[in-house]
Structure 1
Amino acid sequence: MGYRNLRQCVADLERSGRLVRIEREVDPYLEIGVIQRRVYRAGGPALLFTRVKGCRFPMLGNLFGTLERTRWLFRDALRGVEALVRARIDPRELLRHPADLVRLPLAAKNLLPRRARSGPVLQRSCSLAELPQLVSWPKDGGAFITLPQVYSEDPRQPGWRHSNLGMYRVQISGNDYGPDEAGMHYQIHRGIAIHHRAALEQGVALRVNVFVGGPPALTVAAVMPLPEGMPELAFAGLLGGRRLPLAVAANGLPVPAEADFCLSGWLDPQVLKREGPFGDHLGYYSLGHDFPVFRVERIHHRPDAIWPFTTVGRPPQEDTSFGTFIHELTGELIPEVLPGIRGVHAVDAAGVHPLLLAVGSERYTPYAEPGRPQELLTQASAILGQGQLSLAKYLWIANAGDEPPALHRIGDFFRFMLERVDWRRDLHFHTRTTIDTLDYSGRGLNQGSKLVIAAVGGPLRTLADRLPADLRLPEGFDDPTLPLPGILAVRAPVWSAPPYGEDGVLSVFCRMMEKRGAPDGIALVVLVDDPDFVARSLEDFLWVTFTRSDPAVDIDGVGAAVVHKHWGCEGPLVIDARLKAHHAPPLEELPELEKRVDELGAPGGPLHGII
């Protein structure tokens, strides 16, 4: 059986040597975040902070810090979940016809929550100011809940069967928020938006509960990309290995009886307030913007409540384990949802949404060798129309018939694509469209472009694995290096235009290279601020290139031309990946805090031998 609550989980982790207690007083302002990040990078255990400065609640970090530990937490239920996936069973049908559960694996019965008259979570209450005020980065606008489970229901169809449980940023201090107000930052393409719009159209406030803690399955369920109509509460029961008991919170909405905390209230239908800035999973600060105000009516908590948290920052972070675990659970279903697609990989090192790699199938003309991408383009459109995959900014898609390398071998996949891509034909832009809310490379909040790069057939070129002897850079460009075969990184002049402007550097480089001649073996050039940093690792190359460029604005090429409204280039493609005036600032660690954390890893310290 799975865990009934978080305290049960903590006890199990401690018994098995997978958790360390930190009994020294630690500060939730910056210090705890540094500790958690250091232990995560070391592949260390879960952390229970029992003495949190200024707060009576213990804090639990790094719970999902390794994939091995994440699998271990759900070891009792995984076989049942996998059996349902292999059987291609749609859980939504089971919820419509509960009697069918008796003919399915035992795990299926856990899909249905059960009613509870009360529960531990309703036994105590507190204020927002009494909650742990976790601040992870020095320029953060205040404290926010990093592992919230935000519950809402469709006001047109009340009840948990039409509910949404998502993980959205909830700011609980700072800026202009009152003592009973919080910021509700939800990004585009999130389920709560449908409920919020329905409430606004009816002229009513949207009731919302924010759960914190409870059985770990609730946290994972809140980030699962489930099909529309499949309530996350049902999946939490399936993954947790037991039916989820639901009590009723102050606002009348359900609350898991074994949750640790529940912030119960409603979204103000008339007031927006500035939320942020905050460090985010792209590795930058998401800037301050106006978002709905969550008016907190009451905060319920259990007597022995534990506050779980994570750190949001440049990948890899703890949510990397989330993503990998979720892919293991759902990866087999991709061909069912997207016919012809053999695999999809959202690249964590590039911030997930900025870069998607995929393998599709050219089946339109089985009687002939495909001479150009055909069905791959249809499949790319299907990917960009599917759930959160629609937030992808760059989509590179290969043909399975050409036997591309596995998608997780990212460097090999890039080499495969760059050997085959024809820049005159294989670039397909989506201009003036929506992109991830946290991506500031575009023309404004949620605004930017997308690029599909599709390649079919055999190699067209041999990629250089060392700097070409005939390389001659234009004046003002220097320090060339090869991060990957066929990819040239070049230092360009520092951005000099105002926000959302153009300083002409990209165009100057391309036009000058046309006069000088493109070097042999180079398929892609990336203009950057620091070529040495970009070439330091594959992760650094991916992060800089794909988080700092907007395809429609920051791409040009040597020998560029437009033919029948289709843009392409004869020579290398060029991406301008410099930091620009409208970009959000990147996150940076504080050396003085790093030194303080070093003391915890010294002999006699609680983290000795771990960090």
Structure 2
Amino acid sequence: MAFRELAEFVDLLDQEGELIRVKEYVTPDMEITEIVDRFSKSKGGGKALLFENNGTDFPILINAMGSTKRMSMALGCFTLDQVGERIDKVFSELTSPKLSWIDKFKMIPTLKNVSSWMPKRSNSRGRCQENIFKGDDVDLTTLPVLRCWPADGGPFITLPCVVTEDPDTNIRNVGMYRMQVLDKNTTGMHWHKHKTGARHYNRHKELGTKMPVSVVLGGDPSLMFSATAPLPDNIDEYLLAGFLRDESVNLVKCITNDLYVPADADIIIEGFVDPQEELVWEGPFGDHTGFYSLADWYPKFHVTCITYKDRAIYPATIVGIPPMEDAYIQRASERIFLAPMKLVMVPEILDMDLPPAGVAHNITLAQINKTFSGQAHKVAYSMWGAGQMMFNKVMVITDESAPNVHSYRRMARIISQKVEVSRDIFFSRGPMDVLDHSSNAFAYGSKMGVDATEKLDEELQGFDHCVALDKKGTFVQPTSMPEYIVKVNGSLIEQEISVIIISIDKRSNMDLNDLKQYILNEKSFALAKFIVIVDRGVCIDDYDFVSWYCSGNIDPIRDCSIHEPMVPNAPSRMIIDGTRKTSLHDNFKRLWPNPVVSDDEMIEQIDMRWESLELGPFVSSPSRKYKSLMRGSGAVAEDI
């Protein structure tokens, strides 16, 4: 289904009861974030919101794709798996052998469809150019750009589709990179070193040429999704959008550069980046990892023109501690790109899940059709070598004996039953996401693979101490503990999940090696294969909370230690240090970020305004749950 404009999608959300129109004045300066965060973390993703009165001429649409239903509506399907099935069908038809002229003749409809998905250029102006402001008339402050979190470096455009071209091939890329508004006509351009936009930038720098850039806001929501999709380099995002819409994207030429943009977009920001210019200090920014990404040097984008359609809508999103809107966008990518991953890269893969607590790249669960020994290792290394999956930190591989990789409790039981820590866990090193704060080195760290498949004879040779979880085991709290241990949760043992979680007060005078020795000697922990350590302030009865915090804070080789059994008939064990790393306790040299939360004043302000804003039943601020994790009030955690 093709939406002619974002307003059509808004109307559909309204008809389906998926939208709240907020008519009272709400400022884009953190108030909108605090409201939306409460909806995003509600069961099922809450509602989409349209802030019609925000001090500008543009209503703000936010959380529009923040549920499974709305994400499916955005892509014109009943379920996200339908899109993957369509891709699978097209690939199969294009790649299957054609033995007769009849088989080849049957290809004509498919080829015709592919042709109809290709973006098309128009010589006329588009609706996105009904209003044009150039030169001195350019003013980014006329847009309702959000300042999201208290320690953010400024207001950020959070849902931009950034259009660039390879200067050698003219192949287009559409990526989503946050943009900090610096003044009325400049922004930062947050290109990570691994992204296509950064590659185009570096090539322009080599050539000594200015880089044309145009930014697309709004239009058919498939355009926004396509800009986030993990497509291979040199594959046009507008081709994917055409496939999702089942109709080509109509493009028009920009006013002040030679790039082409969707004719029915809501707002276009045109300009350039000069690679010879000094970089600009950009950030901090409350990021999708749930922590602040800290300030750093990035290119500056100069705005030469702003165009927009009549009655344009400004699309935005907020990111932070999961789950938020990006979790549902991520889920769409997971379901849509499973089929091409199977066809092109990992033919044995059956299913995959990226848990929201893993913020896209920290945790991956994969199910395979296992036919030979060592296959879990082969799959893990294949996936670590592919596209954005190279940023994955923890890769769990299971097989058909695991009935459902989307049931995290079941997966935890499978891991408990089938993983012998010293045999089935392996490590590697490689590139990490620029936003990962836990590794010792910037954008480079370690990865952990977990082989939770049924073991074949060759894989069992030399291992005679694999111990399954005692299903009748009952966790008994230790009678005495070091004073720096705040709380122990062993209740998962009784659910056949071999995990114990410990929270500690790391600000005390403690030694992590002493804690490990205590854990290894304490009988209450003897049958737990995995002992997870987190900081005081983490709710250790909330397993999504623990998973998010721990997976974000570990560098696996540094923080996951394997210990052989100390007594007969006991399993080997892994102690996972998921605490915040400091220079004092861990000799950690990089700055460590604080988690992303609202300040007390803003929470209380929205509490008081909730009823008058007609937002429905009161929802408490999620930030209250995470406030105790803050170390100081800024983006950088104080080393205490």
TM-score normalised by length of structure 2: 0.82
Is residue 285–residue 584 contact of structure 1 (8 Å, CA) maintained in 2?
A: yes
Is residue 510–residue 557 contact of structure 1 (8 Å, CA) maintained in 2?
A: no
2:222 maps to 1:217: yes
Superposed, 1:456-495 pairs within 5 Å as 456-457=453-454, 460-462=467-469, 466-468=474-476, 473=481, 476-482=484-490, 484=492, 485-494=497-506
Greater CA drift, 450-459 or 313-322: 450-459
Q: Matched residues in 2 for 1:589 and 1:52: separation?
A: 19
Is residue 514–residue 559 contact of structure 1 (8 Å, CA) maintained in 2?
A: no
User: What runs of 5+ residues in structure 1 fail to find an aligned partner?
Assistant: 94-98, 365-369, 497-502, 562-568
Is residue 334–residue 342 contact of structure 1 (8 Å, CA) maintained in 2?
A: no
Is residue 205–residue 275 contact of structure 2 (8 Å, CA) maintained in 1?
A: yes
Aligned to 2:3: 3
Q: SS where residue 20 of structure 2 aligns?
A: strand
Aligned to 1:421: 419
Aligned to 2:370: 362
2:525 maps to 1:519: yes
Aligned to 1:167: 176
Q: Matched residues in 1 for 2:26 and 2:92: separation?
A: 46
Give 1:237's match in structure 2, choosing from 239, 242, 245. 242
Measured after TM superposition, the shift of residue 92 of structure 1 is: 10
Tell me: CA distance 1:559–1:218, structure 2 relative to 1, closer, same or farther (3 Å).
Answer: same
Q: Matched residues in 1 for 2:310 and 2:549: separation?
A: 46
Give 1:304's match in structure 2, choosing from 306, 311, 319. 311
Is residue 532–residue 577 contact of structure 2 (8 Å, CA) maintained in 1?
A: yes
2:323 maps to 1:322: no
Task: Report the RMSD for the aligned CA atoms in angstroms.
Answer: 3.0
Aligned to 1:267: 273
Deviation digits for residues 267-307 of structure 1 (CA, Å, limit 9, x no counterpart): 22132111111111111111111112112222222232210
Superposed, 1:70-109 pairs within 5 Å as 70-75=71-76, 81=83, 84-89=86-91, 102-104=108-110, 108-109=114-115
Measured after TM superposition, the shift of residue 90 of structure 1 is: 8.2
Greater CA drift, 291-300 or 513-522: 513-522
Q: SS where residue 385 of structure 2 aligns?
A: coil
Q: SS where residue 140 of structure 1 aligns?
A: coil
Is residue 60–residue 316 contact of structure 2 (8 Å, CA) maintained in 1?
A: yes
Measured after TM superposition, the shift of residue 210 of structure 1 is: 1.1
Measured after TM superposition, the shift of residue 598 of structure 1 is: 3.9
Aligned to 2:437: 440
Q: Matched residues in 1 for 2:54 and 2:376: separation?
A: 53
Q: SS where residue 141 of structure 2 aligns?
A: helix
Tell me: CA distance 1:528–1:259, structure 2 relative to 1, closer, same or farther (3 Å).
Answer: same
Measured after TM superposition, the shift of residue 146 of structure 1 is: 0.9
Q: Matched residues in 2 for 1:399 and 1:583: separation?
A: 37
Tell me: CA distance 1:48–1:35, structure 2 relative to 1, closer, same or farther (3 Å).
Answer: same
Deviation digits for residues 319-351 of structure 1 (CA, Å, limit 9, x no counterpart): 111122233323333322312222222221122
Is residue 429–residue 551 contact of structure 1 (8 Å, CA) maintained in 2?
A: yes
Tell me: CA distance 1:228–1:545, structure 2 relative to 1, closer, same or farther (3 Å).
Answer: same
Deviation digits for residues 148-168 of structure 1 (CA, Å, limit 9, x no counterpart): 10111111111xxx2111111
Tell me: CA distance 1:322–1:456, structure 2 relative to 1, closer, same or farther (3 Å).
Answer: closer
Tell me: CA distance 1:610–1:11, structure 2 relative to 1, closer, same or farther (3 Å).
Answer: farther
Superposed, 1:368-387 pairs within 5 Å as 374-387=374-387
Aligned to 1:66: 67
Measured after TM superposition, the shift of residue 513 of structure 1 is: 4.2
Measured after TM superposition, the shift of residue 478 of structure 1 is: 4.9
Q: Residue 30 of structure 1 aligns to which amino acid in structure 2? A: M
Deviation digits for residues 383-404 of structure 1 (CA, Å, limit 9, x no counterpart): 101111110011122233xx02
Is residue 483–residue 535 contact of structure 1 (8 Å, CA) maintained in 2?
A: no
Q: SS where residue 91 of structure 2 aligns?
A: coil
Measured after TM superposition, the shift of residue 122 of structure 1 is: 2.0
Measured after TM superposition, the shift of residue 599 of structure 1 is: 5.0
Q: SS where residue 133 of structure 1 aligns?
A: coil
Is residue 358–residue 551 contact of structure 2 (8 Å, CA) maintained in 1?
A: yes
Measured after TM superposition, the shift of residue 413 of structure 1 is: 0.8
Is residue 482–residue 535 contact of structure 1 (8 Å, CA) maintained in 2?
A: no
Q: SS where residue 234 of structure 1 aligns?
A: helix
Is residue 483–residue 538 contact of structure 1 (8 Å, CA) maintained in 2?
A: no
2:54 maps to 1:49: no
Q: Matched residues in 2 for 1:381 and 1:471: separation?
A: 44
Tell me: CA distance 1:91–1:227, structure 2 relative to 1, closer, same or farther (3 Å).
Answer: farther
Q: Residue 215 of structure 1 aligns to which amino acid in structure 2? A: D
Q: SS where residue 425 of structure 1 aligns?
A: helix
Aligned to 1:541: 546
Q: Matched residues in 1 for 2:93 and 2:298: separation?
A: 33
Identity of aligned residues (%): 28
Greater CA drift, 435-444 or 451-460: 451-460
Aligned to 1:586: 595
2:452 maps to 1:455: yes
Q: SS where residue 141 of structure 1 aligns?
A: coil
Q: Matched residues in 2 for 1:423 and 1:23: separation?
A: 56
Aligned to 1:391: 391
Q: SS where residue 607 of structure 1 aligns?
A: coil
Measured after TM superposition, the shift of residue 252 of structure 1 is: 1.1
User: What runs of 5+ residues in structure 2 fail to find an aligned partner?
Assistant: 96-104, 456-465, 583-590, 620-640
Aligned to 2:20: 20
How many residues align structurally? Answer: 572
Deviation digits for residues 429-476 of structure 1 (CA, Å, limit 9, x no counterpart): 224x32111110111431321111223437732157642467765564
Is residue 492–residue 505 contact of structure 1 (8 Å, CA) maintained in 2?
A: no
Tell me: CA distance 1:466–1:420, structure 2 relative to 1, closer, same or farther (3 Å).
Answer: same
Q: Matched residues in 1 for 2:348 and 2:381: separation?
A: 12
Q: Matched residues in 2 for 1:133 and 1:267: separation?
A: 20
Q: SS where residue 397 of structure 1 aligns?
A: strand
Measured after TM superposition, the shift of residue 601 of structure 1 is: 4.5
Measured after TM superposition, the shift of residue 211 of structure 1 is: 0.7
Q: Residue 178 of structure 2 aligns to which amino acid in structure 1? A: R
2:511 maps to 1:505: yes
Is residue 6–residue 218 contact of structure 2 (8 Å, CA) maintained in 1?
A: yes
Measured after TM superposition, the shift of residue 560 of structure 1 is: 9.3
Tell me: CA distance 1:455–1:592, structure 2 relative to 1, closer, same or farther (3 Å).
Answer: same
Is residue 354–residue 365 contact of structure 2 (8 Å, CA) maintained in 1?
A: yes
Measured after TM superposition, the shift of residue 7 of structure 1 is: 2.1
Greater CA drift, 483-492 or 81-90: 81-90
Q: SS where residue 491 of structure 1 aligns?
A: strand
Aligned to 2:623: none
Q: Residue 25 of structure 1 aligns to which amino acid in structure 2? A: Y
